[in-house]
Structure 1
Amino acid sequence: MHFALPPRKTSQPPPYIPRASRLPGLRRTRFKLIALVGLALLALIYVITRSNNSQHAAPNTHAPRGNPPVVLVTVLDAAKYSKAYLETVRENRINYAEKHGYQTLFAKIGDYSLNGSPGSWTTVVAARDALTKYPDCRYVWYLDASGFVMNPALKVEEHVMQPARLDELMKKDMPVVPPDSIIKTFSHLKGQDVELVLTQDKEGLSAGSFILRNGEWARFFLETWFAPIYRSYNFQKAEVHALEHIVQWHPTILSRMAIVDQRLINAYNKGVRGEEYKDGDLIVRFPDCAAADAQACETESQSFVQASRRAFASS
């Protein structure tokens, strides 16, 4: 059966107008939604970044005024040294600090939480503690308990840390860890850019005496040195080998570090392991006595302690 089509009302059919699609509208809606989410994320990132920057802005704007000029830090280990010997060390540090308007910080093994790391890591935490307790100091000088100040007339800020003096003293383009490290000290480093001063002995870098300029870089350096990953490596010489590691593998540290002649801040009483002390040198250290017994350092240092006391009495 066939059905007739309804008659047209006109002989000219209306033009074809396609039905409006909903797709463009959906796309516009989604685009607006994505744009709003993106703007919200950017705003969140901006707020977080600005907040972080504001948290760090205060330390960056604080310039140490040099009061005190130097904090002399020493870790006292009663398991390695006799009580009488450690009292002599304290006397030596206090006399030197009082002469030049410095401050002292004496730390003991156990004063800080090391999270299971060897006690020798107290060196790093004590230096960091000095920056916290004396935020206006110019320098932190860590001097191991195995050493004594022998020339009280010398100030470390003049004897070592003056930029022009460092330009003359620092050893450039030489292996960081002797004798054949492929990583060498920077050849173009200027004294004004130096933040850390170290020495070497015949075995490598020495952490028994080092000077650190107060500032944000110093805090970065100490935090890096004390990082859990390096303490977990169980280096044979703990913090000393960790120091050698970060100096060689972190250009940010190497680019601010100067190595100077050992006798400037780290002369040894004997020349077996390093440069031997000469009259007039700033300090003398006894790097091997603590490994013998608790009385060995007291016996070995006796003549030097007497000479040091005479020097202070006449200065």
Structure 2
Amino acid sequence: MQFALPPRKSPHPLPSARSTRLPYHRRKQLKTVAVAAIAIVTILYLLSYFTSSNSTSAVASSASTSGVVIVTVLDRKVLSESFIKKIVTNREDYAKRHGYTNFFASTSDYEDAIGDSPRSWATLPAVRHALAQNPSSKYFFHLSAHALIMNPTKSLKSHLLDRSKLESLMMKDVPVVPPDSIIKTFSHLKEKDVDLIVTRDGEDLSPGSFILKNGDFARYFLDLWFDPLFRSYGFAKAETHGLDHIIQWHPTVLARTALVPQRVLNAYSKDSPGAGADGTYKDGDLVLRFPGCEAKGGDCDELDPYYMLWQRKAKNG
């Protein structure tokens, strides 16, 4: 029996067309490298976005492990450097006394995010930014740039955040939005369930001063509040009316919200309109806020005598 022999190879093979397809394992390696490269570029972009600050920004904190981060958003397009210096000095003194961290942000940092919405909406991405930079901190205290911490010796823990203290201050079964909202705060709410602490004035909830506990709820809440639907709705009071709506009509949020008396966290100056019952500043209150100045948008001459009063208290304290 004979077997066919394979053709003899020529010592000078003819040139053949080289395959344009890469081996499977090689293509798989290249695909993996490409995906990894895209992921790395995306991560670097996000890091640069959240950690960068432009020339109009005040100094923001680096990552901290302090129990409280104080978030202050400064609009450098309308506030003078001398006014900003007063606010920064006030916050730094308080943070140093109690081991807290300051997070100073500029409204201009979030212009792309807020678009054509009122600039006051910058509060929300600023607080979100603070959470991202300080993931180990437990509480985030947002305080308007038109406000002073007037009682430098009083810590937030002893004043409000201690379990028994908060339990005693929570306003239960009262209208969320004064004077007669049909939606009321939960009567069975406990301190352990609270993630948001806020006050109300004579007309609305008052987000110029609030405390938010770090966690999944905080991120969900800020994302919900900053939803484009609310920003484009045309609320007369922008984020304030957005907050009124969310807490009244979203039980998930109301169930995590503690309403406390106005002067606990958000006393108004005597010349500012809209204070609630017993909402006007009295000596010894922690915070003094100037909503009338916020409405004007610029510096606040009304703040000056109180700033000098605070300086004396800080010096003696």
**TM-score, structure 1 length as denominator?**
0.76
Q: Does the Cα contact within 8 Å between 1:266 and 1:285 map onto a contact in 2?
A: yes
1:188 Cα deviation after fit: 0.3
CA distance in 2, matches of 1:80, 1:278: 29
Name 1:196's counterpart in structure 2: 196
Q: Which residue of the other structure, out of 63, 71, 91, is the alignment partner of 1:93?
A: 91
SS in 2 for 1:160: helix
2:68–2:100 CA contact under 8 A, matched in 1: yes
Please report how far the alpha carbon of residue 290 of structure 1 lies from its aligned counterpart in structure 2 after TM superposition: 3.6
Partner of 2:48: none
Structure 1 SS opposite 2:208: strand
Q: Residue 161 of structure 1 aligns to which amino acid in structure 2?
A: L
**CA deviation string 1:238-297 (max 9, x = no partner):** 1111111111111000001011011111001117421111111101111102434734x1
Distance 1:314 1:194 in 2: 35
In 2, distance between residues paired with 1:156 and 1:126? 21
Deviation at 1:115, TM superposition (A): 3.3
**Distance change (3 Å), C-alpha of 1:116 and 1:89:** same
| Distance of 1:256 and 1:292 partners within structure 2 | 33
What's the secondary structure of 1:123's corresponding residue? helix
- Whether the 8 Å CA contact 1:163–1:190 is kept in 2: the answer is no
The answer to whether residue 234 in structure 2 is matched with residue 230 in structure 1 is: no
Give the superposition deviation at 1:231.
1.3
> What do the CA deviations read for 1:47-95 (whole angstroms, capped 9, x no partner)?
xxxxxxxxxxxxxxxxxxx921110001111344332111100111111
1:273 aligns with 2:266: no
Q: Secondary structure at the match of 1:174?
A: coil
Where does 1:1-16 land on structure 2 (aligned, <5 Å)? none
Q: Is 1:179 matched up with 2:179? A: yes
2:287 to 264, 283, 289: 283
Cα–Cα, structure 1 residues 158 and 67, in superposed 2: closer, same or farther, change >3 Å?
farther
**How many corresponding residue pairs?**
248
Deviation digits for residues 163-188 of structure 1 (CA, Å, limit 9, x no counterpart)? 21111101100110111111100000
The answer for unaligned runs of 5 or more in structure 1 is: 1-65
For 2:316, the aligned partner's letter is S
How far apart are 1:149 and its partner, in Å?
A: 0.6
Q: Does 1:154 align with 2:158?
A: no
Assess if the C-alpha contact under 8 Å between 2:169 and 2:261 holds in 1: yes
Contact kept in structure 2, 1:81 and 1:290, CA below 8 Å: no
Aligned to 2:310: 308
Give 1 or 2 for the bigger CA radius of gyration.
1
- What letter corresponds to residue 314 of structure 1 in structure 2? N
Q: Is the contact made by 1:165 and 1:191 (CA closer than 8 Å) also made in structure 2?
A: no
Pairwise CA RMSD: 1.5
* Structure 1 Cα separation of the partners of residues 234 and 79 of structure 2: 24
Distance 1:257 1:195 in 2: 6
Distance 1:83 1:280 in 2: 28
Alpha-carbon separation, structure 1, partners of 2:274 and 2:264: 16
Kept in 2, the 8 Å contact 1:80–1:291? The answer is: no
* Identical amino acids, percent of aligned pairs: 48
Partner-residue secondary structure (3-state), 1:91: helix
C-alpha distance in 1, partners of 2:280/2:122?
27
TM-score of the superposition, structure 2-length normalised?
0.75
In 2, Cα distance between equivalents of 1:185 and 1:101: 32
Shift of 1:117: 2.2
Matches of 1:286 and 1:165, distance apart in 2: 26
